[in-house]
Amino acid sequence: MKRAFQPIDPPARLLMGPGPINADPRVLRAMSAQLVGQYDPWMTAAMDETQALYREVFRTGNEQTLLVDGTSRAGIEAALVSMITPGDRVLVPVFGRFGHLLVEIAERCGAEVHTIEVPWGQVFTPEAIERAIEQVRPALLAVVHGDTSTTVAQPLEGLGEVCAKHGVLFYTDVTASLVGNAFDVDALGLDAVSAGLQKCLGGPSGSSPVTFSPRAVDVIRARTSVEAGIRSAGDETSDRRIASNYLDLAMIFDYWGPQRLNHHTEATTMLYGARECARLVVEEGLDAAVARHALHGSAMLAGVRGLGLETFGDLEHKMNNVVAVVIPDGVDGDAVRGELLTDFGIEIGTSFGPLHGTVWRIGTMGYNARRDTVLTTLSALESVLRRAGARVSAGGGVDAAYDAYATADATAATAATAVAGADDPADDLDAATAGGAATGGGAA
């Protein structure tokens, strides 16, 4: 039978690139549940629950926390097209491919876009961004948090205060960084944030969690223009109507809110998936999920170095969940990726723009941020590189990763002992009854 007439039966793959990664089986199971009518009370309750779950994931009290149907760039476009009125000045600090994407989208929204740039692999100092804000006086600062193309994350601390001081809306794209790296919407003073499921959240792409501060909501709501066929008496029609209907957040807020405006047909299956992604994070605990990404990301970093490979980018600002590895001289990067895929079923990432052909990107994220995936990938990479004629140290990758895990285990055990010792009131009692002669446990 022709392949086109056969049921979908994808090959088994271990996706260790910069995303997408293998979806968590729980997410896939949630996505196989039957559809329910859009305004069924069960469904509207599921929407409310999803909003509450994402408030936890984003660490925000923002009422307007919801899903935009579409891949991550749908969330970006919804945020930018709804906040930018044509002619607004927008500042974009560019440090990789996705900064250029923000520029491109903001330009299409009719903004007067100003950029500052650093070479790929580096980040800006907060002072450089503040200086640019003072010079440009933008209505909006749009900055990528973790730029997957370079693997580094821009520190956002302090920028919220700077933006608030200058009356600038503060937006960031956390598609690559959310759940893999510490991030707190309210503490950072962000006005608008968009994400995706396909990286550290362990889901497929196709739904974009977003959140908006009351300040951003005011800006967006001032542009409300309800579409004619669903308009009621008293509904507004702004003369600064948002240029996209599908991504019009003023209407989407009312679709998610008590008004249940009949804007679009919910992508129900994606909502099930997005809800399960958030449930996984909340169940594990956000801090624990970030720590898991830090653990396996540092083991992967140690492993590639243990193989004798160089990394690219400012390691101090590297995201926990992805590493850029310099392709050794004389090695055909695409051939190595091809062999990893065909012989081991492992996918690692290529790269874009100035980095194309010079680095691979290896991710440890979401469902795939695990010890077995790290060790398997390092072992396979070593074999393929050796066959490609690269000089790699035999067993050096796996051994270095094992060492990184052993160090982390020892650190965790010491911390657990210290916490147990500090927390156990019985210890104080023991010390008192021993006449102050007690010694710390395990000192021998």
Ligand X SMILES: Cc1ncc(COP(=O)(O)O)c(C=O)c1O
Per-residue b or e along 317-353, where b marks 16 or more CB atoms closer than 10 Å to that residue's CB: bbbbbbbbbbbbeeeebeebbebbbeebebbbbbbbe
Piece of the chain touching ligand X by CB under 6 A; list 55-63, 170-178, 245-253, 376-384? 170-178
Identity of the residue, 19 or 306, whose beta carbon is nearer to ligand X in the bound complex = 19
Of 67-75, 81-89, 350-358, 424-432, the window that binds ligand X (rule: CB under 6 A) is 67-75
Piece of the chain touching ligand X by CB under 6 A; list 50-58, 114-122, 168-176, 382-390: 168-176
Q: Does 320 bind ligand X (CB under 6 A)?
A: no
| Near ligand X by CB under 6 A: residue from 175, 213, 364, 377 | 175
Q: Considering only residues 80, 109, 144, 362, which one is a binding residue for ligand X as defined by CB under 6 A?
A: 144
Nearer to ligand X, 178 or 375 (CB): 178
Closest to ligand X by CB, 181 or 205 = 205
What is d(CA 181, CA 425) in angstroms, rounded to the nearest whole number? 34
Contact range with ligand X by CB under 6 A, out of 42-50, 70-78, 151-159, 374-382: 70-78
Nearer to ligand X among residue 19 and residue 297 (C-beta): 19
Contact characters 82-121, ligand X, x per CB under 6 A: ----------------x-----------------------
Q: Which is nearer to ligand X, 55 or 100 (CB)?
A: 100
Residue for token pair 């994400």? 195
263 binding ligand X? (CB under 6 A): no
State yes or no: residue 176 binds ligand X (CB under 6 A).
yes
73 binds ligand X (CB under 6 A): yes
Segment 198-217, which members bind ligand X (CB under 6 A)?
205
Residues that bind ligand X (CB under 6 A): 19, 71-73, 98, 144, 147-148, 173, 175-176, 196, 205
